[in-house]
Chain A
Amino acid sequence: MNSKTADRIATGVFVAIAIIIISILVGLFSYILVNGLKHISWEFLTTPSSNIRAGGGIRDQLFNSFYILLITMIIAVPLGVGGGIYMAEYAKPGKVTDIIRSCIEVLASLPSIVIGMFGLLMFVNVTGWGYTILGGALALTVFNLPVIVRVSEDSIRAVPRDLKEASLALGITHWHTIKTVILPSAFPSILTGVILAAGRVFGEAAALLFTAGLSTPRLDYTNWNPFSDQSPLNIFRPAETLAVHIWSVNTQGLIPDVEEVSNGSAAVLVISVLLFNLLARWIGRLIHKKITATK
C-alpha cells in the first residue's frame, strides 16, 4: 500500500468518525426535543410541580437549577481560577506541587455520587443545615473545582512567555502582570472551561440528591428577603433541581403524567444548557473584544 492510499484511507476513517459523532449528537438532540417540545408550554414553565395530580409544572425546579448554578459559580470560579493562578505562576516545581496536582486529579475523577455522600456528611449533617441550596452548591464546588483549576492553569501556561517578560521588564509587579496581561490573555480559554463546568452543574443529579434534597418548599416569588423561608433567594432551603426532578419523577413519581413531565423537563434542561452556553460565549466575546481592542 503506498502512502497516498494510506492517506486517503486515513481521511476516510476520520470523516467517518466525525459523522458517527455528529449523528449520535443529532439523534440524541432530536429524540429529546421531539419527545419533549410538545409538552413545553408557558404553563408548564410557570406552575409548581405536583406530587399526585397530573398537570404539574417545573417552575421551581427550573429556578433552582439556575440559582444553584449561580451560587456554585460564585464559590467555585474565584477558588478555581485562584488555584489555577497559584499552580501556574507561584507553585515552585517540586514534590509539594506534584502532590497538589495529584490531589486535584484524584478529586476530578471522583464519582459524583461519592461527592454526594461526602456532601451529606459534611454540608448536611456536620453543619446541621439539613438539605440546603448552599450545601448543594458546596458539593458541586467540590465536584467542579478540579476542572476549573486545571483549565485555568493550562490557559495561563499557554499565554506566550514573552508577554509576561515584556510586562515584568517594564517594572510591573508580578501580581499586576497577572492581572493586566496574563488573565486577559487567558480569559477566553478560562471562560470555555467555566462554561463546561457550568454545564456539568446543570446536569448533575447524583451529587445533589443528598445535599440539596428532593423537595422544594412552597415559594413566593414576590418575597425577595433572602432570610425568609418562602423566599426563592434563601440559600438555606432545600431545592430540587431540574435534573434531580427528572430522576425523582421517574423513580418514585406518583403522578399519572410521569412521561410528559420528564420528557418536557429533559427538553427544557437541554435547551437551558444550550442557551446558557451561547449567552456565556457571547458575553465572553464582548469582554474579550473590549480588552483586546478588536472590532
Chain B
Amino acid sequence: MSINTLTRQVYDINDLNLWYGEHHALKNINFPINKKEVTAIIGPSGCGKSTFIKTLNLMINMVPNVKMTGEINFNGQNILDEKMDLVELRKNVGMVFQKGNPFPQSIYDNVAYGPRIHGIKKKTHLDEVVIKSLMDVALWDEVKDRLNTPALGLSGGQQQRLCIARALATKPGVLLMDEPTSALDPISTLKIEELILELKEKYTIVIVTHNMQQASRVSDKTAFFLMGELIELDTTSTIFSNPHDSRTEGYITGRFG
C-alpha cells in the first residue's frame, strides 16, 4: 500500500465481525473509506448496513449485548481499542439519523449545542459557528429571522437539514448519514442530495440508503451488503453498470430485496 492511499484513507476496516448476542450480524467486513468521497451503502432490510454505519462512531455500543472483533482504524487509530475516547471520536464523526431529531429547543440552541458543550463560550465565536453551519446546509436564508423560535416548528426537510447543521457545528471530518431522506418528501430529498454533493468538497460522507437511484446520484463508491456480508465494494459507476457479483446485479436490477 503506497503512502498516497494511506493518507487518502479515513477509515480502514479489517475483519470486522459483530454479534448481537448469538446473532452474527456482520461477517468479516474489510472496508476502506476514502477522504472526501461519498460512500453509499445499499442492501435489503436486515443486511447489516445500519449496523455497519453505527460501528463507525460506535453508536452501536448503545445496543446491549453487542460484541465486536477485528479492527476499525480511524485516521490510523483502532477505535475498538478499550482506550478509545468516544467523545473525541464522535466530535470528529458526525451522524444524521433517519428522522430529523432536533432538540426541543430554539433553532440557534440546536446548532450551538455541540460547540457550546465542547468549549466555545464566546458569544461572537458561537454566532459565527452557528451561521456558518446553517449556511453550509443552505438553511440560513430560511431561518435567519427566527433563530430563537423552536426548532420543532420547522418542516420535516428543514429539520433534517438543521440536524445536519448541528452535526457540522462540531467540525467533524466525517459525516455518517443513516437513511437521511427516508422520511422526507421528494423535494426535500432533492435538497438533501444536492447538499451531499456540496458537502463532499469538505467532508467524507458515508450514507446508508434504501434508494438505489439516490446511491447512484450522490455517491462515488457503493458498497452492497447482504446477510451481514460485504458482497461488493467498487466505484458507483461499476456497481451500477457492470457489477462483478451476480447477487449485486440481482439486487440492483430489482430481482430481489
A residues sitting closer than 8 Å to B (CB atoms) are 93, 160, 162-163, 165-173, 176, 180-181, 184-185, 291-295
> In the complex, what distance in Å separates the CA atom of A179 from the CA atom of B8?
39
Q: Measured between C-beta atoms, what is the minimum distance from A68 to chain B in Å?
A: 35
A93 to B166, CA, bound (A): 32
Question: Are B94's CB and A170's CB within 8 A?
Answer: yes
Quote the shortest CB–CB distance from A180 to chain B (angstroms): 7
B90 and A170: CB pair below 8 A?
yes
* Distance to closest chain B CB from A291 (angstroms): 7
Q: Cα distance A160–B151 when bound, in Å?
A: 16
Q: Is the CB of A169 within 8 A of B95?
A: yes
B101 lies within 8 A of A180 (CB): no
> B16: shortest Cβ distance to chain A, in Å?
20
A58 to chain B, nearest CB (A): 43
For B166, give the chain A residue with the smallest CB separation. A170
Given contacts A170-B166, A171-B86, A171-B118, contact A292 B62 (CB under 8 A): no
B210 touches A (CB below 8 Å):
no
Seed contacts A169-B90, A180-B117; 14 additional CB < 8 Å A-B pairs = A93-B64, A163-B101, A165-B59, A165-B97, A168-B59, A170-B90, A170-B94, A170-B114, A171-B87, A171-B170, A172-B117, A184-B104, A292-B150, A293-B106
* Binary interface encoding of chain B residues 90-116 relative to chain A, with 1 for a CB under 8 A from any of its CBs, else 0: 111011010101111110010001100
Contact (Cβ within 8 A) B117 A293: no
Q: How many residues of B contact A (CB 8 A)?
A: 34
Q: How far is the CB of A33 from chain B (nearest CB, A)?
A: 39
Please list the residues of chain B having a beta carbon within 8 angstroms of any beta carbon in chain A: 57, 59, 62, 64, 86-92, 94-95, 97, 99, 101-106, 109, 113-114, 117-118, 148-151, 163, 166-167, 170
- Can you list 22 A-B pairs, Cβ within 8 angstroms, ordered by A? A160-B101, A162-B101, A165-B59, A165-B62, A165-B97, A165-B101, A166-B101, A166-B163, A168-B59, A169-B57, A169-B90, A170-B91, A170-B94, A170-B166, A170-B170, A171-B89, A172-B114, A173-B87, A176-B117, A180-B113, A181-B103, A293-B148
Contact of B114 among A162, A171, A184 (CB under 8 A): A171
CA distance A167 to B110 in the complex (A): 10
Minimal Cβ-Cβ distance residue in B for A293? B106
> Does B103 lie within 8 Å of A166, measured CB to CB?
yes
| A120–B188 CA distance with the chains assembled, in angstroms | 66
